[in-house]
């Protein structure tokens, strides 16, 4: 890249990390600021004192077709920290009937697996799957349920659980078009794009720590406990970043990637519209060993639990779009969810093992047609400010893949801006740009703060 400028990345979730590693890889000078004392945001691991082991804040599943996540893992050298079956296999159990089946799409794009009853969802016929094409042509305000057949077994056993997992929104409210995009990038590309991948150790060990190590190796500056409080704008540019104890000047050739959650971005950027309705996710982590032969994960229908994950010393369960659960007491949830986990894994119903319940009330924005209209584009009216985060309009739901794609896109946009404009940024006089900067006098929030040299 021709510009010697620094890129300031605020927020060290996956979007910020992805932007930072892509920029560092391209040779840019990067400073990464994070308000907490750790990176990873909504996707990380930590030591749980009660369970006495490390757990992930939530269960996250990647698919081999998540091309942005795969590119990120390549950049940070962490692809081999994931494990998963060599084939696209998705074991399910229906707790209402006791039936078990394994969805097994074939590797190629021609979906001949639909013709084989042993590869389909139990109790479904091949032609029913073709109805999914209605999602492709759906109106912008159509929901998944508007396009599919809510009374069908296929809906209850496949379309609904996948919609809830991918959109964190029930099929009756989730955007049909967004769901189509998810299916197009995964099932639509054949089983080779649907190989399930889970972190062997934990989310941080796979997605966060290797990124920080890569950034350190490239000389990037990572600053924790650095909460961005205010952005100083002048004309068409960001000119300064105001943190708790310091103000950072943003030079003419610098760029800023704002990779904070949507509500924080809306507070920092004037007139920024963002999705403002969020859905909860509940996770239960049980300190217990799963019986030998238990698959890495099991889809559960007909119960309260949705996806059960087997980990080394933990069995975890996730319930997305968990509006009906999130206000229940944790003791009650531990028992209710364990009943389903025990049935799914063939474990005794009593006693309930030691358990940690994690409720994320605002896990992601709801992927409804109304909320999608509020997603901003990454470029802003300030020509050195880019947005990244799972809420930005990536055409994907709020997922690891969406967050990483937004970060990579912000890095790419900066590369393009730099190439397009060459050194034009330098030509703008700083004095002229600052002329409509009105923060002076007693209200000047810069008073008493250290001004940091980069
Ligand atoms: C429980 C749970 C389960 C999930 N399960 C899945 C799954 O199975 N599959 C999947 O793909 N996705 C899943 N997701 C979604 C996925 O985790 C998120 O979409 C993704 O992690 C969002 O990344 P982000 O970088 O956009 O935002 P965040 O992770 O929120 O990162 C933003 C960062 O900015 C920091 N920050 C905030 N304010 C400031 C400030 N003022 N200054 C500086 N820094 C600031 C925050 O501390 C945070 O580190 C799940 C999410 C949750 C919560």
- What are the tens digits of pLDDT across the range 5-42? 999 999 999 999 999 999 999 999 999 999 999 999 99
Question: Ligand 1: which of 17, 21, 42, 409 to mutate, most ligand atoms within 8 Å of CB?
Answer: 42
- What are the tens digits of pLDDT across the range 70-110? 999 999 999 999 999 999 999 999 999 999 999 999 999 99
- The strand pair at 355-365 and 385-387 is best described as unpaired
CA distances to 4, 149, 192 from 402, rounded to whole Å, are: 29, 28, 20
- What are the tens digits of pLDDT across the range 204-254? 999 999 999 999 999 999 999 999 999 999 999 999 999 998 999 999 999
Ligand 1 interacting residues, C-beta cut-off 6 A? 10-16, 33-36, 41-43, 57-61, 227-228, 259-261, 264, 281, 283, 360, 363-364, 389-390, 398-401, 403
Ligand 1 geometric centre to CA of 444 (Å): 32
Nearest CA to ligand 1 atom 31: 13
- What are the tens digits of pLDDT across the range 282-337? 999 999 999 999 999 999 999 999 999 999 889 999 999 999 999 999 999 999 99
Residue 436: predicted pLDDT: 32
Read out DSSP for 288-332? -PPPTT--SEEEEESSS--EEEE-SS-EEEEESS-TTTTTS-HHH
In this model, does residue 168 exceed pLDDT 90?
yes
Residue 297: phi and psi, rounded to 5, are -155, 155
Mean pLDDT of 338-342: 98
Residue 419: predicted pLDDT: 80
Residue 145, SS3? helix
**Encoded tokens for 334:** 């531990």
Residue 120: predicted pLDDT: 98
Atom number of ligand 1 nearest to Cα 243: 42
| Residue with more model confidence, 392 or 426 | 392
In this model, does residue 430 exceed pLDDT 90?
no
Residue 421: predicted pLDDT: 62
**What pTM was computed for the model?**
0.93
In this model, does residue 435 exceed pLDDT 70?
no
Nearest CA to ligand 1 atom 26: 389
Nearest CA to ligand 1 atom 49: 41
Report the alpha-carbon distance of residue 115 to residue 298 in Å, rounded.
23
Nearest CA to ligand 1 atom 18: 399
Residue 440: predicted pLDDT: 28
Ligand 1 geometric centre to CA of 45 (Å): 12
Residue 441: predicted pLDDT: 30
In this model, does residue 437 exceed pLDDT 60?
no
State percent of the chain over pLDDT 70.
92
What is the overall mean pLDDT for the chain? 92
Atom number of ligand 1 nearest to Cα 401: 11
**Encoded tokens for 224:** 């924790």
Ligand 1 geometric centre to CA of 41 (Å): 4
Ligand 1 geometric centre to CA of 383 (Å): 25
Ligand 1 geometric centre to CA of 84 (Å): 23
Nearest CA to ligand 1 atom 9: 60
Residue 422: predicted pLDDT: 52
Please state at what angle helix 14-25 crosses helix 400-421, rounded to 10 degrees.
Answer: 40
Ligand 1 geometric centre to CA of 19 (Å): 14
Residue 418: predicted pLDDT: 86
Residue 317: predicted pLDDT: 97
Report the alpha-carbon distance of residue 259 to residue 360 in Å, rounded.
19
Ligand 1 geometric centre to CA of 293 (Å): 32
Yes or no: say if 274 and 391 are a contact pair by the CB < 8 Å rule. yes
Atom number of ligand 1 nearest to Cα 402: 19
Read out DSSP for 75-102? HHT-GGGEE--SS--EEEEETTT--EEE
Residue 343, SS3? helix
């Amino acid at each position: 890249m021709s510009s010697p400028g620094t890129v300031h990345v605020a927020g060290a979730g996956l979007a910020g990390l992805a932007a930072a590693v892509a920029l560092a890889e391209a040779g840019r000078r990067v400073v990464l600021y994070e308000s907490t004392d750790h990176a990873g945001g909504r996707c990380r691991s930590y030591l749980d004192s009660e369970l006495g082991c490390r757990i992930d804040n939530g269960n996250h599943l990647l698919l081999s077709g998540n091309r942005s996540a795969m590119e990120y893992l390549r950049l940070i050298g962490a692809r081999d920290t994931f494990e998963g079956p060599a084939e696209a296999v998705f074991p399910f159990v229906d707790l209402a009937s006791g039936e078990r089946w394994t969805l097994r799409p074939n590797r190629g794009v021609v979906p001949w697996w639909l013709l084989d009853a042993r590869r389909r969802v139990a109790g479904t016929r091949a032609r029913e799957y073709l109805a999914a094409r209605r999602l492709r042509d759906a109106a912008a305000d159509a929901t998944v349920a508007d396009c599919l057949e809510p009374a069908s077994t296929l809906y209850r056993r496949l379309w609904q659980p996948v919609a809830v997992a991918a959109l964190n929104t029930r099929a009756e409210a989730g955007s049909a078009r967004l769901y189509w995009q998810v299916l197009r990038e995964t099932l639509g590309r054949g089983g080779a794009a649907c190989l399930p991948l889970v972190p062997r150790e934990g989310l941080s060990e796979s997605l966060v720590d290797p990124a920080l190590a890569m950034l350190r190796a490239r000389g990037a500056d990572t600053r924790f406990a650095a909460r961005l409080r205010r952005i100083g704008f002048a004309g068409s540019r960001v000119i300064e970043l105001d943190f708790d104890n310091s103000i950072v000047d943003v030079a003419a050739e610098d760029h800023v990637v704002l990779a904070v959650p949507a509500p924080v971005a809306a507070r920092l950027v004037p007139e920024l519209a963002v999705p403002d309705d969020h859905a909860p996710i509940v996770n239960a982590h049980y300190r217990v060993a799963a019986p030998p032969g238990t698959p890495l994960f099991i889809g559960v229908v007909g119960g309260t639990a949705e996806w059960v994950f087997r980990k080394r010393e933990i069995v975890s369960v996730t319930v997305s779009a968990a509006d009906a659960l999130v206000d229940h007491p944790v003791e009650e949830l531990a028992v209710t969810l364990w009943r389903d986990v025990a049935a799914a894994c063939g474990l005794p119903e009593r006693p309930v093992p030691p358990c940690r319940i994690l409720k994320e009330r605002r896990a992601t924005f709801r992927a409804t047609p109304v909320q999608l209209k509020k997603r901003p584009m990454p470029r802003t009216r300030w020509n050195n400010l880019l947005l990244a985060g799972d809420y930005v309009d990536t055409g994907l739901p709020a997922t690891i893949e969406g967050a990483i794609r937004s970060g990579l896109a912000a890095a790419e946009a900066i590369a393009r801006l730099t190439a397009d404009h060459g050194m034009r940024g330098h030509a703008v006089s700083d004095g002229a740009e600052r002329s409509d900067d009105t923060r002076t006098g007693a209200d000047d929030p810069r008073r008493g703060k250290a001004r940091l040299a980069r």
